Amino acid sequence: MFSYIYMKILESQPQRYDWGVSWLSLGQADRARRKIADELVRPGMRVLDIGCGTGTMAVLAAKKGATVWGFDVSEDMLHVAREKIERAGLSEKIELHEMGVSGMDRLSDQSFELVLSTLVFSELSGDEQTYALTHAHRVLKENGYLAIAGEIRPESGGKRIFYNLLRIPLLIVTFALTQTTTKPVGDLPTLVSQAGFRNNKVVRSSLGSFIYLVAQKVDRT
C-alpha cells in the first residue's frame, strides 16, 4: 500500500527519505519518476520541479539534458539535494530555491516547457493545490506539459474503506511523532482540468491510492 503519511517522518531524516519513499510506495514513486524522465523530458528544455525534495527527479531530468529550476520548503531536504547534484556533476544544470508554492507568483510567464511535481500535492491544502496548478499553467509555454505523481483518495467505495482501515492507525502514529500529517488528493484530474489543462494520461495504482497524471496546457480563451 502507498502511504505518504510516513513522509513527514522521513522528511525529518532526509538522508533516509529516498529509500523510505521507494519502500513505502512499493517502487511506484521510482517508476513514476522514470516515466516522467523518459516520456516527457527532452534535451534543452526548461523544467520546473515543484517540491523538489532531495533532488531525485531534478537529477533524472538534468541527466536527460534539461535545465531544472526546483524549490522546496525544507532546508534540510535541499541540503541533501545539493550534495546529490554536486556528486552527479550537474550543478550547472539545476538551480534550487527554498520556498513554498506561494512563491510561484514570482516566476515569469511561459518560462518552462515542463512543470512536474512528485509526492507533493498530498502535503498541500486545497487552496495551495489550486494555487500551484494556476501558476503551473501560467508559467508553462504554449502546449507545455504538467506531470504529477502522488497519493490520491481511491474512487471505489470498497477500496476507500480498505485504504482508510490501513491508513488511520498510521495517521495516529505519524501525528504523535511529528504533529503533522498528509491528506490524499481527492479528484486530481478534475482539479487539473479546471486549471486549464487537458488530461492526456491518468494511471492509477491497483488500490487506487497512487496516481501518475500527465496533462497539457490549453488556451483558456
Domain ranges of the chain: 4-217
Per-residue pLDDT, 200: 93
Instruction: Return the closest-CA partner of residue 73 out of 51, 106, 102, 41.
Output: 51
* pLDDT at res. 17: 56
- Backbone φ and ψ for 42, nearest 5 degrees, come out as -130, 150
Say what the pLDDT of residue 191 is: 94
Give the pLDDT of residue 179.
36
The answer to whether residues 65 and 44 touch, using CB atoms and an 8 Å cutoff, is: yes
pTM of the model: 0.80
Q: How far apart are CA 44 and CA 68, in angstroms?
A: 10
**For residue 175, what pLDDT is reported?**
42
For residue 9, the model assigns a pLDDT of 47
Low-confidence ranges of the chain (pLDDT < 70): 1-27, 153-185, 206-209, 220-221
State residue 208's pLDDT score.
55
Contact by Cβ (8 Å): 211, 201: no
What is the CATH code of the structural domain delimited by 4-217?
Answer: 3.40.50.150
Cβ atoms of residues 135 and 195 within 8 Å:
no
Q: How far apart are CA 185 and CA 46, in angstroms?
A: 27
What pLDDT, on a 0 to 100 scale, did the predictor assign at position 177? Answer: 40
pLDDT at 162: 53
Q: What is the Cα–Cα distance from 46 to 69, expressed in whole angstroms?
A: 8
